[in-house]
Amino acid sequence: MKQHSQLLYAINPVAIDVMLESLRPIVKLNAASITEIKDKVKAESFIFDDDGRVLENYKIVERTCEIPIIGELCDGPTWYEWFGLCSYERIRRQVVAAQVDPRVDSIRLVIDSPGGYVSGCYETQRVLSRSGKPVIEAVCRTQTCSAAYLLASTAQKILVDNHSMVGSIGSIITMISDKDFLQKLGFKKMTFVSSVSPYKALDPETEDGAARVQRIVNEQGRVFVETVAKLRGVSVEKVLADYGQGDILTGAAAIKAGLADGFISEIEKEVSNVSETEQKPAEEKPAAETAEATDAGAESTDVEAEGGMPCETPEEESSDAKSAADIERDRLKAIDDLRLSGFESLVAEAKYGPNRMTATELKAKVFDEQRRRQAKANAELSSVAASDAEASVSSAGQGPEGAEAQAKALDIQAAREAKRNGR
């Protein structure tokens, strides 16, 4: 069995920047290459919160961590994703990390995958199914097929877009015969099988061999269908009859057949409703005041015609409320787009605290916090330097030229102090 080693990083994102800038003149990295490398490394890395705890580097929106399932699924190490694959191992690691992450209350799967290998799929499905923090949604982008749909079925809701392709439930085995090709090259392949295991080397080109391979893929497909039925809370017969029989359904057709539960736009509606409820509701006027306002309608019109401020219509009020919700969504999105790793407390305060901030105000706060941390680090370094100087003074006094060495050590210490204090 071939064993792959996993590259796992535990590195502060600031250190990544310093490291790459140092390498720039040596390996002639341009800005685009540095950005690409940083994105790949940070996707593999842990990050640290304000208290120095190690946290998983996934996107968190409204206390829901979003776990991406993008590309062909395989059970290789996480660095396989650098080549466009999607690692079951990384998905499992992020689900486990979310269980103990104080920033996370629930999980959302964001999927755009044609499916992939069976190896690792069911292990990942079981990790998702047993998650202590609910998998509330599977958001299906362009493709959620085969193994990717099996993982999506672990969510409470599967949401699709109009163009989303969903389904392809079942298993497939592909074999390529190289017999004719080898014969043309002058090679002849010979296989010897032990007498106690005559079926160990199947020949799919024979009727018996093809039947045995078909039996294997049928059993794999049965397990697939039974698992989807259990996760979706429907019967096996329902899956066999309505879930496409291996075909792919799109958008509304997938919802109608039961493969999905709704459209992705419903998420936006929920966000809009939350934002609107945060706005202060308009105070209702007593019925008497309403009647007086109705009776005085003509007078109000006269005042407006003379240059007074026109009253807002219900349509205008609704438009204002909608604008406020849009502004709030834009503010939260701008903060999320900053992707500030290591400043989660400040981000939470900016988004939901009593004194909410814009993205620009948050960047200023983060800059101040970086300066504070740098000052703290400098102070610690100065303390270490002072200790080293004291040790030098102590050891210098013991040599044959102790007085002169001691004086030099004191001069060095004084110079360091002066430099630290800016003199």
* pLDDT (tens place) for every residue of the chain, 423 residues total: 333 333 333 444 555 566 556 666 665 666 666 666 666 555 444 554 455 445 556 788 888 999 999 999 998 887 888 888 899 999 998 998 888 888 889 999 999 999 998 989 999 999 999 999 999 999 999 999 999 999 999 999 999 998 999 999 988 888 888 888 888 999 988 888 898 888 888 888 889 889 999 999 999 999 999 999 999 999 999 999 999 999 999 989 999 999 999 998 755 555 445 545 544 444 444 444 444 444 444 444 443 434 444 444 444 444 444 567 778 778 888 888 887 777 778 888 888 777 788 888 888 888 788 778 877 777 776 676 666 556 555 554 555 555 666 666 667 767 666 666 655
Query: What are the CA-CA distances from residue 117 to residues 76, 123, 326, 375, 423 (Å)?
Result: 10, 12, 42, 50, 65
Q: Give the per-residue pLDDT at 44.
A: 47
With 0-12 / 13-18 / 19 or more C-beta atoms within 10 angstroms meaning exposed / middle / buried, residue 384 is: exposed
Q: Are 254 and 167 in contact (CB under 8 A)?
A: yes
Q: Give the per-residue pLDDT at 393.
A: 52
Q: Give the per-residue pLDDT at 369.
A: 82
Q: Give the per-residue pLDDT at 16.
A: 52
Q: Are 21 and 350 in contact (CB under 8 A)?
A: no
Taking alpha carbons only, the member of 125, 123, 154, 122 closest to residue 138 is 154
Report how far residue 415's alpha carbon sits from residue 81's, in angstroms, rounded to the nearest whole number.
Answer: 51
Those residues with Cβ within 8 angstroms of residue 312's Cβ, 6 or more apart along the chain or in another chain: 320
Q: Are 166 and 248 in contact (CB under 8 A)?
A: yes
Global pTM? Answer: 0.53
The secondary element (H helix, E strand) that includes residue 160 is strand 157-160
Report how far residue 393's alpha carbon sits from residue 399's, in angstroms, rounded to the nearest whole number.
Answer: 11
Q: Give the per-residue pLDDT at 103.
A: 84
Q: How many CB atoms sit inside 10 A of residue 375's CB?
A: 10
- Half-sphere exposure (Cβ direction) of 155: Cα atoms closer than 13 Å: 27
Q: Give the per-residue pLDDT at 27.
A: 57
> What mean pLDDT, rounded, does the chain reach?
75
Q: Give the per-residue pLDDT at 391.
A: 58
* Three-state SS at 422: coil
Q: Give the per-residue pLDDT at 303.
A: 38
At residue 247's C-alpha, the angle toward residues 203 and 225, to 5°, is 70
Report how far residue 153's alpha carbon sits from residue 139's, in angstroms, rounded to the nearest whole number.
Answer: 11
Report how far residue 390's alpha carbon sits from residue 388's, in angstroms, rounded to the nearest whole number.
Answer: 5
Q: Are 230 and 241 in contact (CB under 8 A)?
A: no
Instruction: Kindly state the tokens that stand for 213.
Output: 């391979």
